[in-house]
Amino acid sequence: MIFLKSKSFENLELKEEKWYKTKYSVEPIPEDLLKQMTEPACNTTTKKIDLPPANTLIPKNFDILPKNEELSKKAHLLKQWDDCDLWYKKDDKFERPKAYINMKMYTGDNGFGSAPEKRLFALFWQSVQEEYLREFKYMADCANLNFTLSVLHDNLNLSFSGFNDSMPNYISESVTRLMQMKDADLKEIFDQTKEKLLLDWKNFYLNQSFRQMLPSFEAIMYEMYPEKRALRKILEPYTYEMFMAELAGWLKSGQYIFYVHGNYSAEAAVQLVEQVRGILNINLTEVSDLPKVRVLDLQPGHSAAICDELEDKKNDNSCTLTYYQIGQKQKDYKLDVTLQVLCQYFEEPFFDDLRTKQQLGYVVASRQSDYRQCLGIWFLVQSAQKSCEYLVQAINKFLLERRELVKNISDEDFEQQKKSVHTQIAEKDQNMSQESSRFWSEISTHNYDFEKQEKELKVLEEITKEDFIALFEKTFFSESSSRLDFELTSEAHKDNQAELLETNKTDLMFTNHLKRSVFAGNLSDFKAHLQAQGSYQDDYIKDQFVKFRNQGL
């Protein structure tokens, strides 16, 4: 039985049912269609249609392991190989037959992490493997298992979750299939992936302005992170033969980090890692020889502005992101926690002023930022009414007005801000996934401080109003202040933008402690300028990894 619904039908004689007066018609299925349905024929002979294979990923053992206080208190470095660290934490808190297993693989294969254009292969491979493993992932999904693969700046992050009884088979089978891609016929998947990525990276510039802003800003902040248009340009002449040649040299060398968390014994964790190491069989790359991820280092006392134009000329929404860089995280957490209080203090008033009162646009936000442990704060506004430089004026005015309020902040107001931050930091893990993510964050960034939550709460208690005021002044109104304005201007605001660029030369924010320079060129030109000036700092996280491998915790 087939139902067809529509608001109207042409050239049909309709009946009317008696209760609701709904008009309808009933017709027999045509003979030719009925024959196709009762005697189906498949003209495709290149693919075999069959029942799905038996699902070997279904768990059978749901027993909870006996508690072990020593192994469940925090993450432990369970074992080290020349090319691998295994971290482990047994779960005694949530008591579920589940496990969360993370694997980070650092590699410089095919130049990954050493040049923007070398990132293309890794992103393309990520998309290809999604389709290549699609049927296998469906089987895993039926067994309540999950696997995600992320391409980060200098490593691949593989995350597995689900029933612990299925994990050994699930992970070994997933990794084996990834390695088998080198010998598979991927031409059809390659063509589909290329078409999709070309379209995605073209359509990126048709998104709302604020959705373009943060990914584009990352291209400024990270030396080897390319723009979408740059990736598209590299992809256009990319061939299947080129992809397969690079695939043959992929996952050949590097370093691993594993974290096994959940209803998993220490012995089983070691066996699992040994099994995966045997499948991958990579050659060792010393940590000191791995690619470095370098982050933008802004000059103190300087404010840079990059004024780019929106590619979509029909998009009326200009967008401005104003970023203040503060500095590297400190081991005592005082800078980090004080910044959290400062951002908490800004969040609601900034939105209320620029969004509710001034009604500059629907997208108004301020956030703390962390680029490879380099702390900062950004303010973002998207507006269909005003140009980017007008938004810069509005942000400057907000900061100037806040300056007086910060200097005279009451004890009660200050303690309220601290209380809000305390609630955020002290929030307990609601499930095993959250707990696993918290510990994995410490391992993957090579901080290894599994008592961070308790330390931050202690630091928060000791932060004074004077600390709060001092950070505000140092960040926004001192000779060490460093700022970057990234602007995406709509066609509708070009004239006003040009006018206000001149007006803002005399803005108080740019005539006292900050010297402003407006870059004449687009984002790509600005990025090349920064690289030529040597404006990117050393890789703090990789240095931490080298130190750990040489000295231990």
**Whether residue 302 has pLDDT greater than 80:** yes
H runs (alpha helix) in 107-186? 119-132, 134-142, 167-180
* Residue 68: how many other CB atoms lie within 10 Å: 12
Instruction: Check: CB of residue 418 under 8 Å from CB of residue 410.
Output: no
Place of tokens 């999950």: 146
Q: Which of 15-29, 96-110, 257-271 has the lowest mean pLDDT?
A: 15-29
Same fold, 75-289 and 296-445+454-537: yes
What's phi and psi for 185, nearest 5 deg? -85, 105
**What CA–CA distance (Å, rounded) separates 103 from 77?**
14
User: Mean of the per-residue pLDDT values for the chain?
Assistant: 94
**Whether residue 40 has pLDDT greater than 90:** no
Residue type present at position 115: A
Q: Which of 147, 95, 146 is nearest to 263 (CA)?
A: 95
Q: What is the percentage of the chain residues whose pLDDT exceeds 90?
A: 86
Sign for the pseudo-dihedral over CA of 462, 465, 467, 471? positive
Find out if CATH 1.10.3720.10 is the number for domain 296-445+454-537.
no
Q: What is the pLDDT of residue 1?
A: 62
**Whether residue 545 has pLDDT greater than 80:** yes
Instruction: Check: CB of residue 275 under 8 Å from CB of residue 258.
Output: no
Q: What is the pLDDT of residue 116?
A: 85
Tokens representing 485 are 């304005």
pLDDT band at 39 (very low <50, low <70, confident <90, very high): confident
Give per-residue pLDDT as tens, 117-164: 899 999 999 999 999 999 999 999 999 999 999 999 999 999 999 999
Give per-residue pLDDT as tens, 467-486: 999 999 999 999 999 999 99
**The model's pTM:** 0.88
Instruction: Using alpha carbons, list the distances in angstroms from residue 168 to 113, 215, 268, 490.
Output: 30, 36, 9, 53
Residue of 35 and 6 predicted with greater confidence: 35
**Whether residue 9 has pLDDT greater than 70:** no
Give per-residue pLDDT as tens, 227-259: 999 999 999 999 999 999 999 999 999 999 999
Q: What is the pLDDT of residue 475?
A: 97
**What CA–CA distance (Å, rounded) separates 331 from 334?**
8
Q: Give CATH superfamily name and number for 75-289.
A: Metalloenzyme, LuxS/M16 peptidase-like (3.30.830.10)
Instruction: Check: CB of residue 32 under 8 Å from CB of residue 41.
Output: no
DSSP annotation string for 207-235:
S-HHHHHHHHHHHHHBTT---HHHHHHHH
**Whether residue 11 has pLDDT greater than 80:** no
**Whether residue 46 has pLDDT greater than 90:** no
| Domain range summary for the chain, segments of one domain joined by + | 75-289, 296-445+454-537
Give per-residue pLDDT as tens, 91-115: 999 999 999 999 999 999 999 999 8
**Whether residue 313 has pLDDT greater than 80:** yes
**Whether residue 540 has pLDDT greater than 80:** yes
pLDDT band at 45 (very low <50, low <70, confident <90, very high): low
Tokens representing 449 are 């401080």
Q: What is the pLDDT of residue 47?
A: 65
Give per-residue pLDDT as tens, 422-473: 999 999 999 999 999 999 999 999 999 999 999 999 999 999 999 999 999 9
DSSP annotation string for 504-534:
GGG-GGGTSS-EEEEE-S-HHHHHHHHHHTT
Place of tokens 């201007």: 489
